Chain A
């Protein structure tokens, strides 16, 4: 096949020689180009349908290497990460941390079916004596019928809030992610399940599905709402499932949206027998908006959630281990407002100071008889003043100062760096 093509090409070139002899260099190149194009067309025609060009191998640029994009059967690597230095005001202590390094593989099986993944290593070292964790953050398959209808299945991110689905460090302000989308919406929050998503009209995106739910029996942190009860696809108890839905409208410079997630969390007492027969329904929702105009970035989010049977969950936690028990979260809400202004933007460089105010309010189902009371740190106001300095659209340096109204031990000055590719 290759030999015959070469022979054809030689013949064509020598056949064109008289014309080439009288032409300028540019004309000669054009003549040769046309010959090559004709030979390619003949070669494709004779090879049959299997060799016809696909939409994934457009020859308009005569690419010599398309490995950066996913052709059918192609795999690529993505990644992001962040590191920070924190100096705490009250204790005077300082820490430096490679908070997370994430890499992922994406694979295209054919023009409709793709695989997406992210694998995260937190705090640099993972061993039984260290605090680091290695976890699969996403591993899901997407089947695209059209822009309007995509089916997905696997471990995927729940579309609640702004950060949960778009959490790469260059895409948000501040060295650390905001606390509302950490303690109320448990970013990075993923569940095992199936869903359908797509764009139904210009800029309006929907996403809905059925997934694993939380497990109230796994609660082990009194200050982060339901965060410590999310199961992350790790031998998740699935007696109770959850449903979610989200709508987001996007146009240049504007995002307005919201989402809801609801499901029972008792899990038939699988991880705490005292929760057998307890529904403990958890429902959380949010609305959010982002607006960019004339160098100004404005962002706001409100979220609220409730846990049914919270008193029974508190009792179950006490029954399991009175020493570590705490009052389960009963209701939670939080909001933040943020403003940033791009004071310098030249080429790849971009400098934007920002200010953010956050409010967190988690109400717990107290059991005074057993000494399980409201944690005062669950009523918090946080002010953050800082700057993002993008040295490249995908690489950012950050600095900020944070002041907590309740838990003063968290007051800190921070420096950070993040990247994504």
Chain B
């Protein structure tokens, strides 16, 4: 029986390798994502993270932000934010499109860990559609988690809040 199971395992492995040989860790290059959602890739704009902004970002992330400036791209009321945050062990890279203070679109662009890729699922990401910031820079809704991917789900939620917060600051800056 074990011999038969081993044979089945070997055959399944070969079959899966044949259909999944493409290396799929980088699902979409950030540049391609920006060009797709904005029609083309405009020059980046920069949001400088002053001490106050860093404090708010730290409150959202649960740790100080690692950057002093955040690049973003905007066109016709739409802004695009490429953010990175650690899930369990490694950074997740995700793209967020914000329109009128609401999340319009989210996509996981690079996922590096061997488990937890379920955060890429449409059924998970669509929960962010139209989410906006509520009190204390929290989302206006609960995001249902994925069993076994708790920390990756948390990372996605924190990035969504950060994208909305940064988007609000970018509009404040434009009005000044």
Contacts and interface: CB of A to CB of B under 8 A. Distances in A.
B146 interface: yes
A263 B9 CA distance: 15
Most buried by A among B68, B89, B146: B89
B12 to A, nearest CB: 7
B144 A58 contact: no
Interface string A16-42: 000000000010011001100100000
B147 A255 contact: yes
Interface string B1-34: 1100110010011001101111111100010000
Contacts of B23: 111-112, 145-146
B148 A166 contact: yes
Q: Helix, strand, loop or mixed for chain B's interface?
A: mixed
B121 A243 contact: no
A294 B99 CA distance: 28
Contact of A58 (B43, B93, B173): B93
Nearest to B65: A61
Contacts of B118: 199, 203, 205, 250-251
B66 A63 contact: yes
Interface string A195-209: 011111011010011
A281 to B, nearest CB: 8
B103 to A, nearest CB: 16
A251 B71 contact: no
Q: How many B residues touch the partner, as a band?
A: 35 or more
Contact of B48 (A29, A63, A263, A292): A29
B90 A69 contact: yes
Most buried by A among B48, B84, B118, B145: B118
Contacts of A152: 114
B57 to A, nearest CB: 11
A60 B71 contact: yes
A146 B84 contact: no
A56 B91 CA distance: 8
Nearest to A67: B66
Nearest to A54: B26
B154 A393 contact: yes
Q: How many A residues touch the partner, as a band?
A: 35 or more
Interface in A67-125: 68-70, 76, 78, 106, 108, 111-112, 114, 116
Given A64-B68, A250-B149, A393-B154, A208 B90 contact: no
Contacts of B91: 56, 66, 68-70
A60 B9 CA distance: 42
B142 interface: yes
Contact of B71 (A62, A146, A162, A209): A62
A252 interface: yes
B21 A145 contact: yes
A149 B70 contact: no
A347 B45 contact: no
A373 to B, nearest CB: 32
A149 B20 CA distance: 6
A202 B9 contact: no
A150 interface: yes
A45 interface: no
A243 B5 contact: yes
Contacts of A60: 30, 71, 82-84
Contacts of A197: 114
A62 B67 contact: yes
A58 B2 contact: no
Interface in A328-344: none
A171 interface: yes
Given A148-B16, A199-B118, 8 more contacts: A65-B66, A144-B114, A152-B114, A166-B147, A198-B20, A210-B6, A243-B5, A393-B150
22 contacts: A33-B46, A55-B26, A55-B110, A56-B91, A58-B30, A62-B69, A65-B66, A69-B89, A70-B90, A116-B89, A145-B20, A146-B21, A146-B24, A166-B147, A203-B121, A210-B9, A243-B5, A250-B147, A251-B121, A251-B123, A252-B143, A252-B145
